[in-house]
Structure 1
Amino acid sequence: MNVDHEVKLLVKEIQRLGTKDADGQTTVTFGVLFNDDQCANIFEALVGTLKAAKKRKVVKYESELLLQGVHDNVQIVLLQE
């Protein structure tokens, strides 16, 4: 699949699952994304898609590598709606 296409799908899923913070940005935790059935069906490699989106400055999060369980509470912030 095309990486840009996957990043666009990721943006839609973050908008669907996330909430607006005080700054008006949409945020979601990694655990919510990882454990969502629809996301599991869309993304073969969610962590890879998140990394590509971070590199393109579409999302931001604090951790370098996201691991299920350990990083479930890491906030992913959508920078481009």
Structure 2
Amino acid sequence: MNVEHEIKLLIEEIKRLGSPNSDGNVCVTFGTLFNDDRCANIFEALVGTLRAAKRKKVVTYDGELLLQGVHDNVSIKLLKDTL
């Protein structure tokens, strides 16, 4: 899969699993994304897709590299819902 296609899929999964915050942006925790069965089947490298989406300013989160377990409570905020 190409990166842009994976980012589009990521946007849909964040919207499916997340909820709007006070700013109106949809947020989801890394743990929720990582532990979701559907996401596990879609994304071969979820962390890599998140990093690419962050570089394109589609999502934002604290830190550079997210690790399962350690960063499960890190909030991922969707900044725009199109690429």
TM-score range (shorter-chain normalised) is over 0.9
Correspondence 1:12 to 2:19: no
Q: How does 1:1-80 map to 2 (within 5 A)?
A: 1-80=1-80
Q: Return the alpha-carbon distance in structure 2 between the equivalents of residues 69 and 5 of structure 1.
A: 27
Q: Return the alpha-carbon distance in structure 2 between the equivalents of residues 29 and 20 of structure 1.
A: 12
Q: Return the alpha-carbon distance in structure 2 between the equivalents of residues 32 and 47 of structure 1.
A: 13
Q: Return the alpha-carbon distance in structure 1 between the equivalents of residues 8 and 56 of structure 2.
A: 11
Identity %: 70
TM-score (norm 2): 0.97
Amino acid in structure 2 at the alignment position of 1:20: P
Amino acid in structure 2 at the alignment position of 1:71: H
State the 1:63 CA deviation. Answer: 1.3
Q: Return the alpha-carbon distance in structure 2 between the equivalents of residues 56 and 5 of structure 1.
A: 13
Structure 1 unaligned blocks of 5 or more: none
Q: RMSD value over aligned CA atoms?
A: 0.3
Q: Matched residue pairs, number?
A: 81
TM-score (norm 1): 0.99
State the 1:33 CA deviation. Answer: 0.1
State the 1:39 CA deviation. Answer: 0.1
Q: Which runs of 4+ in 1 moved over 3 A?
A: none
